[in-house]
Amino acid sequence: MLDETLRALGDPTRREILRVLRAGDLTAGDISGRFPMTAASVSHHLSVLKEAGLVKSERNGRNLVYSLETTVFQEFLQQMLDLFGKGDER
């Protein structure tokens, strides 16, 4: 999980998508409209974020609505704390 999360967070567009979703759930079209790239490119970024477990999607009629998956963020932060020793004495 850590590798996928770091890979997903390594791209500035994906980090910006996560920032946008902090304000609330959005459809794929709403997200795409905020970026100067094709809808297909935004869709690819959303797929990477979804595979990493950072966002989830739910179908609402014809739209996919994306939201943050906060439990994965909590797990990621815990793994980072474990990795860097959270105050390990040396």
User: Domain extents for the chain?
Assistant: 2-83
Which residues lie closer than 8 Å to 4 by C-beta, 6 or more apart?
Answer: 51, 52, 53
Closest CA relative to residue 9, chosen from 58, 84, 76: 76
What is this structure's pTM?
0.83
Confidence band, pLDDT 50/70/90 cuts, at residue 1: confident
Q: Report the topology of domain 2-83.
A: Arc Repressor Mutant, subunit A (1.10.10)
Residue recorded with tokens 């009629």: 61
Of the chain, the end-to-end C-alpha distance in Å amounts to 28
**C-beta of residue 39 within 8 angstroms of C-beta of residue 46:** no
Beta bridge partners of 26: 66
- State percent of the chain over pLDDT 70: 94
Q: What is the pLDDT of residues 8-46, one digit of tens each?
A: 999 999 999 999 999 999 999 999 999 999 999 999 999
